[in-house]
Structure 1
Amino acid sequence: MKGRERWPVICFASCPTPAYFIAMPNLGGPEILIIFVIVLLLFGAKKIPELARGLGKSMGEFKRAREEFEDEIKRAADDVDLDKDSKKHESGPANSEPRKS
């Protein structure tokens, strides 16, 4: 790759390819094993299940909050659509002129 670095760095408008803000190589089996051993040494075997349980609970709570937020947005959009439809029906056709008798 002529004129390019091996790992992409922060790149804005001058970059012809999509911007990568963090250069992260692919993780294979050995790298994941090393990370697991480091976590095991830092937290201990008894603490890891507690950490995983807490992480699972927090992910579930985040998912519920996200779904509630999406539902609220959908309800608000539906309310706005209903308001527009009801105003359109109340005013009648927009281009009609009053009848002369």
Structure 2
Amino acid sequence: MTTIEISLLVIAMLASGLFCQYLDAKYNWQLSAWFYGKPVNPFRASLSRQPTPLTAKNAEISALKERIATLEAIVTEPAYELNQELNKLRSNSPSP
């Protein structure tokens, strides 16, 4: 083998290793452990590698849901609709 062929082979091996690491991080496939001979199923996610609970995002989502419910209550209130109609009439009336 020539020097170029050996260099290309090493680069290809490094690229495939990096790609497997990417798949491990993104999809939790555990390909690296499988390649190193550890007895794991690469297509079954282990409980230890599950993503942590997103409590901050869940709290933010629940707070946003509460705000939406409050806004819906305000908008569907009859006094709000009456106020909107009065504002329309005020803006359409000619100024003296």
Q: Is TM more than 0.5 here?
A: no
Q: Which has the larger radius of gyration?
A: 2
**Normalising to structure 2: TM-score of the pair?**
0.32
